[in-house]
Amino acid sequence: MAFDNEGVLFASCRADDKILKFDADGTWVVFADSEDELDDSTSMAFIIFPPACTTDFDQDGDVDGSDLAVLAAGYGTSYDENDLSAFAEEFGRTNCQQ
């Protein structure tokens, strides 16, 4: 199982050689199957999307000191304590999608 960056769940059903996509309301559709050349259980793989980085302010793919500088420069006008808390949680991430 894996979630994409929008919170959509993908799960493999190896018995049927299918990848299912589950929406937030619990409904599902076949995302890929043997017709998509996924005809054996070893080919059932996922691309895992990490959750988005909300505090990669300089959009360089990581949350680091450069982002802290942007946060500090805009603190009180563009950014607030919620942004600071989010930065503290994400600091050190290097897998932000650009």
Q: What is the pLDDT of residues 33-66, one digit of tens each?
A: 666 555 554 444 555 566 789 999 999 989 999 9
Please, how many CA atoms are within 13 Å of residue 36, restricted to the half-sphere of its CB?
A: 12
**Residue 56 to residues 3, 76, 78, 82, 93: CA-CA distances in angstroms?**
20, 18, 14, 14, 9
Amino acid identity at 25:
D
Cα 67 from Cα 58, distance rounded (Å): 6
pLDDT digits (tens, 9 = 90+) for 10-30: 676 666 667 777 776 777 777
What is 52-98's CATH topology?
Type 1 dockerin domain (1.10.1330)
Which sequence spans correspond to the domains of the chain? Answer: 2-43, 52-98
